[in-house]
Amino acid sequence: MKIVLAPNAFKGSMSAMQAALAMEQGVHAAFPGAEVCKVPVADGGDGLAEVLIDALNGEARVFTVRGPLDEPVQAALCQVPALELAAVEMAVASGLALLAPQDRDPTRTTTYGTGELIRAALDLGARRIVVGIGGSATNDGGIGMAAALGVRFLDAVGEPVAPVGGALGQIHRIDASGLDPRLAGVRCEAICDVENPLVGPQGAAATYGPQKGATPAQVASLDAGLAHLADCIAADLGLEVRDLAGAGAAGGLGAGLHAFLGAELRRGVDLVLDLVGLDAQLAGADLVLTAEGQIDYQTAFGKAPAGVAERAKALGIPCVAIAGGIGERIAALHPIGIDAVFSLCPGPMTLEQAMAQGPSLLAATTEQVVRCYLSGSGAPRP
């Protein structure tokens, strides 16, 4: 029997690989002779670099870059030398979690540090760069990122414009002649799990600005600034980004990556599952087990367990999910391929208790899931 284990991270408790190792213990407790394939996964949010380090034998590289308020921060990227691949998480350089609540102000924040990480990836020889763009503190349309890579944003008298959200309206001309030439030979992909356009009621500023500290007046100003940036990009670069699906992700960084680096915007879980080679591991599998800290109806919208289940279903392989917490309307998950959902909590317990005991609880639940599968499958018993 071949069982594929494809869990996401349990935030605050287990990395995706730690979860896979715990599940492996449970499988072997139920069926010692089972063939187990561990494929830790992610959906492009927090933990992308860690998953790729584990799955692709990558290496963490740490650099000092500018934080969202231009302060120095230590930020890591994942390098996979064998694939000439680098994975960058913008949250570690330009993320909201780097700021205290009182310091959040998307008129002042910048993605410059994210651009510095991309430049560091180029220095490492990357020919393919994946950028996860969740968790931003910014609303600068990616001009900070582009400025770090050599693009100049000039005002009406030819002076450089500060690469922050509040200065977007001052841009008169975009000079991309200084863009790092190494980017011409690089494939860039942005992990984008929202479809928001750049501007308007569903745009970057209106949808996400308030959680980044923007007042209603600032939301209106930032939206106008992004619209102006879109006009400048159309005039100077010949690209239309205003209504591009995903352009509004990460304060418009989706638009910036597409416009300045030619990045393709892709659903995170699809890109990650391709990178970790899940399809190849599913060949010949009898059962797929996935897992995540919380599973509910929203899991269907691009979360890692849903992506795993979709691929298992396409091959006719049963898929069971294990969760720390089970939320509302999980019946919505059955049509996409999650045949059943089990909680790892054996009884009433606090979140803190469940997180502290995460690996042992996950192993025990995995054992019971496999025993349940064996009892109904007609497979030879160990």
DSSP strand E in the chain: where? Answer: 2-7, 35-38, 59-66, 72-80, 85-89, 128-132, 152-154, 173-175, 187-191, 264-266, 287-295, 319-326, 340-343
pLDDT at 382: 63
What is d(CA 7, CA 92) in angstroms, rounded to the nearest whole number?
A: 23
Local confidence pLDDT in tens for the 382 residues of the chain? 999 999 998 877 888 899 999 999 999 999 999 999 999 998 766 677 887 887 788 999 999 999 999 999 999 999 999 999 999 999 999 999 999 999 999 999 999 999 999 999 999 999 999 999 988 999 999 999 999 999 999 999 999 999 999 999 999 999 999 999 999 999 999 988 788 999 999 999 999 999 999 999 999 999 999 999 999 999 999 999 999 999 999 999 999 999 999 999 998 888 889 988 999 999 999 999 999 999 999 888 888 899 999 999 999 999 999 999 999 899 999 999 999 999 998 888 888 888 888 899 999 999 999 999 999 876 666 6
- Element at 154 (helix H, strand E): strand 152-154
What is d(CA 337, CA 330) in angstroms, rounded to the nearest whole number?
A: 12
CB 254 within 8 A of CB 260: no
Sign for the pseudo-dihedral over CA of 224, 227, 231, 236: positive
Sign for the pseudo-dihedral over CA of 321, 322, 324, 325: positive
pLDDT at 154: 98
The DSSP annotation for 161-182 comes to PPSSGGGGGG--EEE-TTS-GG
CB 121 within 8 A of CB 77: yes
Q: 114 burial class (0-12, 13-18, 19+ CB within 10 angstroms)?
A: buried
What is d(CA 338, CA 260) in angstroms, rounded to the nearest whole number?
A: 39
pLDDT at 355: 86
Q: 124 burial class (0-12, 13-18, 19+ CB within 10 angstroms)?
A: middle
> How many alpha carbons lie under 13 Å from residue 80 in its C-beta half-sphere?
22
pTM of the model: 0.83
Q: Which amino acid is at 242?
A: R
Alpha carbon of 379 to those of 1, 255, 339, 370, 374: distances in Å?
8, 51, 18, 11, 6
30: helix, strand or coil: helix
